[in-house]
Amino acid sequence: MKHCLIVDDSRVVRTVAGRIVKDLSFTVSEAAHGAEALEICRKDMPDAILLDWNMPVMNGLDFLRALRREERGKEPIVVFCTNENDPEHISEAIRAGANEYIMKPFDADIVESKFSEVGLV
Amino acid sequence: MQDSTFNELADLALRLTGQHFAPSKSYLMEARLSHISRRESFATLDDLVHCLKARPNPRFDQEVAAALTSKRTQFFREREQLEQIVSHALPQRLKLSKNGRLRVWCAGASTGQDAWSLAMRLFEEVGSPLASADIEIVGTDVSTDCIETAGRGTYGHFEVQKGLSIHRLMTNFTRENSGDWTVSENLRGSVQFRRHNLLHPAQDLGAFDLIVCTHVISGLALSAQREVLTNLSRQLLPGGFLFAAPSERIEGIVDTLKPSREMRGAFERDTTQQGIVAA
């Protein structure tokens, strides 16, 4: 099974997203901020990362830039999942290495559609 | 909903749009007519039907029948088929075109996603012969509301996130202050939308190289399927293609269309059959 890391400071979002991603046949791990996510990636690089933008300690954009500099950091498919819905933020995320972008609020169909766009399902 | 109300509405839908409603689908009627009921302050659909009978109004009949049609669609819904259209059907037609012009009819276009998806996909054909072709896309639907939405090209947060990659969204849409997204000007020149009932002859629309009519035929009564397919085939140029959804079974309903040997879900106009005259 593929492994998806869900990075969001909201436990509710992690739980809801986790259920959706499990239904798409992924194993799921969770992190509450970018620094925690980076530690998990260094130990066990996931296949996919569902990534919030605004989080304490290390935000999603800084995490993504740091991830892409890691030895195997270009491997995971990164899908931003955030309230930052304006084109400037989206462009910045893509420039930093995001593969797809989900604008909150989201539902299971959106996650499946976006995962399908990047070949995860 | 009373049985008599269901029967009246099912009869109206069959008569005006050819749709078949089984009694088990009465919940769909309730859902699809809820906005008209609210707007007109009908407490129940029984009241709405009572009004239809007590105060005959052909325009309101049409509106109710159009509201009963399925609006379900999404961007890039039939993705493989779209690739067949862009990589095979349209290039084949372009080779036969004397003036580099091609016409595509998205029949039963609902709120426009199929037509805009084709326009987006064609916009990506940089460097291919299709890039320099003059391709006109005409989307039609029986519902005035749907056609207005399609023409505006403005879609909500959830609609633009199903079937559209973020790259396509950013390339082909602009974000409104409301949070909705509107199709960019660069796509608008090639696409137009018109109200049209597929049960009616379509000479006014002209002849087409390609007709895309997906997830429409299968919802119709058999007699309406024959009528609609006959009307569609009459507008198909010789050698042109009709695309239905691959899941729809329309083979053999009319003699004027034969399945394509090369493309799944595609049908070619059978030029050996009589009675087909494209406008």
The whole-number pLDDT of residue B259 equals 92
Furthest CA-CA distance within chain A: 35
A86 and B170 within 8 Å at the Cβ level: the answer is no
DSSP chain A: -EEEEEE-S-HHHHHHHHHHHHHTTEEEEEESSHHHHHHHHHHS--SEEEE-SS-SSS-HHHHHHHHHHSTTTTSSEEEEEES--SHHHHHHHHHTT-SEEEESS--HHHHHHHHHHTT--
Residue B274 has pLDDT above 90, yes or no: no
Of B162, B167, B170, the CB nearest to A87: B170
Q: Are residues B61 and B85 in the same domain?
A: no
Quote the pTM value. Answer: 0.92
Domain assignment present for B275 = no
**Parent domain of B172:** 79-269
Predicted complex ipTM: 0.95
Q: B67, B88, B103 — which closes off a domain? A: B67
CATH number of the structural domain spanning residue B58: 1.10.155
Domain assignment present for B274 = no
Q: Which residues of chain B are within 8 Å of residue A113 when distances are taken between CB atoms?
A: 161-163
Residue B147 has pLDDT above 80, yes or no: yes
Domain assignment present for B104 = yes
Residue B215 has pLDDT above 60, yes or no: yes
Q: Are residues B128 and B10 in the same domain?
A: no
Q: Which residue of B has its CA nearest to A112?
A: B162
Residue B279 has pLDDT above 70, yes or no: no
With cut-offs at 50, 70 and 90, classify the pLDDT of residue B251: confident
Q: Are residues B16 and B153 in the same domain?
A: no
Q: What is the mean pLDDT of residues B76-89?
A: 95
CATH number of the structural domain spanning residue B135: 3.40.50.150
pLDDT, tens digit (0-9, with 9 covering 90-100), for A94-121: 999 999 999 999 999 999 999 999 999 9
DSSP chain B: --HHHHHHHHHHHHHHH-B---GGGHHHHHHHHHHHHHHTT-SSHHHHHHHHHHS--HHHHHHHHHHTS-----TTTTHHHHHHIIIIIHHHHHHH-SSSEEEEEEET-TTSHHHHHHHHHHHT-TTSGGGGSEEEEEEEES-HHHHHHHHHTEE-TTGGGSS--HHHHHHHEEE-TTS-EEE-HHHHTTEEEEE--TTS--GGG--EEEEE--SSGGGB-HHHHHHHHHHHHHTEEEEEEEE--TT---TTS-TTEEE-SSSTTEEEE-TTSSS----
Two structure tokens written together for B32: 């699809």
Q: Count how many domains chain A has.
A: 1
Domain assignment present for B191 = yes
Q: B39, B67, B95 — which closes off a domain? A: B67
- A92 at the B interface (CB within 8 A)? no
A91 and B175 within 8 Å at the Cβ level: the answer is no
Q: Count how many domains chain B has.
A: 2
The whole-number pLDDT of residue B35 equals 92
CATH number of the structural domain spanning residue A79: 3.40.50.2300
Q: Which residue of A has its CA nearest to B161?
A: A110
The whole-number pLDDT of residue B144 equals 95
Q: In this structure, what are the phi and psi dihedrals at residue A27, rounded to the nearest 5 degrees?
A: -85, 150
B157 and A103 within 8 Å at the Cβ level: the answer is yes
With cut-offs at 50, 70 and 90, classify the pLDDT of residue B273: low
Q: B67, B93, B118 — which closes off a domain? A: B67
Of B158, B165, B175, the CB nearest to A110: B158
pLDDT, tens digit (0-9, with 9 covering 90-100), for B96-145: 999 999 999 999 999 999 999 999 999 999 999 999 999 999 999 999 99
**Parent domain of A51:** 2-117
Q: Are residues B32 and B133 in the same domain?
A: no
Residue A56 has pLDDT above 70, yes or no: yes
The whole-number pLDDT of residue B276 equals 47
The whole-number pLDDT of residue B143 equals 95
